[in-house]
């Protein structure tokens, strides 16, 4: 099977144009938008055209997981700098309202960049003024430290609601983690097809959160390294290989249920411990993985393909077939040697080697310039969504770190695990003191 080419993007309308039209047709955006761009008809109404690159913020699940992976990411991990539960809730309300606006291609605040008081900071920073929504999605996750901080304090009265699976990831062999790229109370994944739109979104959330949340670390990424829909062409990572071929795709509805969304039976529900609020959500794993590009570039094509277990040109498994043929790990060649090396990346990461466990990968290439020695500081900002990190991520990463031929070329420098709550229900009102907010169920007794 060969994936069809990506669909062409319909014309776009900028948020400056939308401000004057607020309320006109924009409310229609989102109806029927499950997993894809909102389905507005091409009419005379420019807001309808704008809807072509809008993913609705509300829904049963947060957007940005099964949504077709966009081209860019700005991922930010925030620390909550207030100890007040009320202020945390206020922050989540304000972020939810701003997120809903920005994902529609509107300014972050009601008054926009220049319609507010002359003597007050603008309600939006302005750099996305002439840009469309660009498929922006904003996905929020709660880290273990939000529930119990480093000193063991339950700052927000939610420790008894921390899911058992939400823990700091263990140390993996050869981890080279930098504290300044790890953890964070709340993670926000901003994905868009325009980097300025993704950066604008995080910048405005940080501005809105001033005094309550501060950015702990953030990472920019480009060139998605996964497909999350069969409609997308498989992209390539910085080793030059197709990446995402056997990823969970949104069209695999059973696999998405089984492997991505937290199910009601996953929760504990007692007076002492209640994690039911996470039902319909997921777990987000992020790893900043530096790739030693220069060494890789000096290795032979044979070695590169052996390491991956697939061909560089088509992405087919070394056991034969085309890109989407299932690998045959038992097939042997000359000297009775398996055609796919058992220590190759694909052999070790495959569900057959991991009790059937899969993950929805949604990572990006990154390049943060060069180090002082003239080597690219580049690699993969790995993002995966799983229903259960203890069975779907931790054992796989342990195996890869120990045995994967590829690990010689990798250094894990950043890391985090967050619980991603379900979506803000469609039709709910956001903003103000009684607006619905992302993760609200966590704060309801
Ligand atoms: C712990 C999980 C994984 C990490 C970390 C990881 C890093 C990593 N991967 C590549 C390149 C490729 N990965 C591919 C497949 C693949 N990788 C993982 C998991 C991790 N990768 C899984 C579960 C799979 C799918 C296995 C399967 O079902 O067959 C591939 C092959 C193409 C594909 O299916 O996507 C490539 C290429 C790099 C470069 C990297 C770290 C920088
Ligand atoms: Fe991989």
**In the prediction, which pLDDT does 211 show?**
98
C-alpha 326 chain-centroid distance: 26
Number of residues in the chain: 445
- State the distance from the centre of ligand 2 to the C-alpha of 116, rounded, in angstroms: 48
Contact 78, 209 (CB under 8 A): yes
CA distance linking residue 247 with residue 228, whole number of Å: 7
Q: 38 is written with which tokens?
A: 């909102």
Nearest-10 crossing angle of helices 195-208, 85-103: 150
As given in the structure block, the two tokens for residue 340 are: 């796919």
| Tokens found for residue 164 | 């058992």
Provide the 8-state DSSP code for 141: E
Cα–ligand 1 centroid distance for 379 (angstroms): 13
Mutation choice for ligand 1 from 224, 243, 259, 285, CB with most ligand atoms inside 8 A: 243
Q: Is the ipTM of this complex over 0.85?
A: yes
Q: What is the pLDDT along the chain (445 residues), one digit of tens a residue?
A: 333 333 333 345 566 555 444 433 333 333 333 344 543 323 333 333 344 699 999 999 999 999 999 999 999 999 999 999 999 999 999 999 999 999 999 999 999 999 999 999 999 999 999 999 999 999 999 999 999 999 999 999 999 999 999 999 999 998 999 999 999 999 999 999 999 999 999 999 999 999 999 999 999 999 998 899 999 999 999 999 999 999 999 999 999 999 999 999 999 877 788 999 999 999 999 999 999 999 999 999 999 999 999 999 999 999 999 999 999 999 999 999 999 999 999 999 999 999 999 999 999 999 999 999 999 999 999 999 999 999 999 999 999 999 999 999 999 999 999 999 999 999 889 888 889 999 999 999 8
Name every residue whose Cβ is closer than 8 Å to that of residue 23 and which is 6 or more positions away in sequence. Answer: none
Instruction: Name which of 192, 213, 197 is nearest 87 in CA terms.
Output: 213
How many separate helices (H) and strands (E) can be counted in the chain?
12, 9
Which residue has a Cα nearest atom 6 of ligand 1? Answer: 382
What tokens does 346 get? 């694909």
Ligand nearest to the Cα of 324, by number: 1
Residue nearest atom 11 in ligand 1 by C-alpha distance: 243
Ligand 1: which of 310, 349, 402 to mutate, most ligand atoms within 8 Å of CB? 349
Question: What residue's CA is closest to ligand 1, atom 26?
Answer: 350
| DSSP string of 56-87, one letter each residue | -S-SSS-SSSSSPP-SEEEEEEEEE----HHH
Determine the Cα–Cα distance for residues 40 and 51; give it in Å rounded to an integer. 6
């Amino acid at each position: 099977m060969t994936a069809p080419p990506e669909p062409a993007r319909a014309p776009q309308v900028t948020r400056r144009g939308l401000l004057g039209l607020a309320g006109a047709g924009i409310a229609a955006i989102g109806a029927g938008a499950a997993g894809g761009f909102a389905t507005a008809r091409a009419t005379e109404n420019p807001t309808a055209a704008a809807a072509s690159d809008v993913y609705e913020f509300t829904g049963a699940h947060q957007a940005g997981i099964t949504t077709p992976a966009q081209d860019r990411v700005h991922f930010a991990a925030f620390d909550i700098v207030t100890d007040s539960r009320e202020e945390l809730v206020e922050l989540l309300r304000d972020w939810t309202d701003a997120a809903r606006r920005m994902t529609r291609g509107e300014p972050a605040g009601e008054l926009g960049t220049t319609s507010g008081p002359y003597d007050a900071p603008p309600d939006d920073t302005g750099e996305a003024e002439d840009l469309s929504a660009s498929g922006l999605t904003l996905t929020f996750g709660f880290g273990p430290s939000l529930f119990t901080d480093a000193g063991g304090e339950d700052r927000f009265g939610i420790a008894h609601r921390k899911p058992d699976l939400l823990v700091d990831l263990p140390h993996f062999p050869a981890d080279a983690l930098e504290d300044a790229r790890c953890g964070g109370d709340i993670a926000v994944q901003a994905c868009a097809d325009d980097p300025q739109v993704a950066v604008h979104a995080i910048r405005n959330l940080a501005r809105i959160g001033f005094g309550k949340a501060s950015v702990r670390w953030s990472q920019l990424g480009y060139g998605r390294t996964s497909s999350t829909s069969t409609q997308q062409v498989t992209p390539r990572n910085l080793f030059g290989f197709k990446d995402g071929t056997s990823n969970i795709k949104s069209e695999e509805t059973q696999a998405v249920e089984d492997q991505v969304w937290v199910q009601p039976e996953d929760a504990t529900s007692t007076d002492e411990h209640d994690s039911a609020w996470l039902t319909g959500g997921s777990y987000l794993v992020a790893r900043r993985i530096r790739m030693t590009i220069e060494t890789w570039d000096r290795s032979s094509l044979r070695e590169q393909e052996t390491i991956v277990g697939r061909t560089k040109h088509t992405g087919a498994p070394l056991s034969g077939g085309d890109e989407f043929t299932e690998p045959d790990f038992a097939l042997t060649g000359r000297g009775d040697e398996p055609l796919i090396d058992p220590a190759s990346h694909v052999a070790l990461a495959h569900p057959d080697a991991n009790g059937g466990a899969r993950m929805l990968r949604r990572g990006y290439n990154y390049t943060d310039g060069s180090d002082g020695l003239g080597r690219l500081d580049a690699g993969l900002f790995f993002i995966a969504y799983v229903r259960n990190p203890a069975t779907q991520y931790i054992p796989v990463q342990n195996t890869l770190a120990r045995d994967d031929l590829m690990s010689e070329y990798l250094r894990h420098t950043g890391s985090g695990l967050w619980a991603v709550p379900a979506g803000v229900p469609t039709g709910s009102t956001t903003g103000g003191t009684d607006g619905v907010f992302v993760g609200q169920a966590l704060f309801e007794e």
